[in-house]
Amino acid sequence: MKSSQDRGGFVDNIRVENLTMNNVQFPFSWLMSWHNEYNRKVLNGKKEIPDFWLAVAEQIPENQKKTKVSNITVKNVTATLAKDYSLPARAFDLKAFPDKPMANITFSNVKIAAKEFGHIEAIDNLQFDHVTVDVQQGNNAVNDEFDNR
């Protein structure tokens, strides 16, 4: 799940259940500040613009920016890595904004194997119930850059 600072909207009341993942690099990567510079709404001087582009290009008022994520439940999920898996692998990258944190996020009966734990930032009421995370090493800062993944 990804959004950017200049977008608005919401993700609310989502339930994810009964998943088995193998060799998934970033099983839980929810980044609300993903490629902000890429997601700017600029038309670059186009002369003829289809009507459907106008709505996409319309600027969002400042007080409505930053996607609000809330009431997400993840239940009965297993994520594994093969012994010869060579790519980066992070269990979590859950990042929102301090002034618009994610809220009411629950992980229940989840088991993750990853090379790195990752980051968790700006979440109100994050609950882990029967969650096991096995990591092989500390975070590698190279994996903080989106284009390096």
Q: Are 76 and 43 in contact (CB under 8 A)?
A: no
Q: Determine the Cα–Cα distance for residues 101 and 122; give it in Å rounded to an integer.
A: 5
Q: Are 8 and 64 in contact (CB under 8 A)?
A: yes
| Nearest residue to 4 (alpha-carbon basis) of 44, 27, 45, 32 | 32
What's the start-to-end Cα distance of the chain, in Å? 15
Residue pointed to by tokens 């993700």: 11
The predicted pLDDT at position 149 comes to 53
DSSP string computed for 113-131: EESEEEEEESEEEEEEEEE
The predicted pLDDT at position 46 comes to 61
The predicted pLDDT at position 146 comes to 66
Q: What is the pTM of this model?
A: 0.84
Q: Determine the Cα–Cα distance for residues 41 and 90; give it in Å rounded to an integer.
A: 30
pLDDT values of the chain reduced to their tens digit, one per residue, 149 residues? 988 888 888 999 999 999 999 999 999 999 998 765 555 556 566 667 777 766 666 777 888 889 999 999 999 999 999 999 999 999 999 999 999 999 999 999 999 999 999 999 999 999 999 999 999 999 999 988 866 55
The predicted pLDDT at position 56 comes to 65
> Strands 10-22, 68-80: parallel, antiparallel or unpaired by DSSP?
parallel
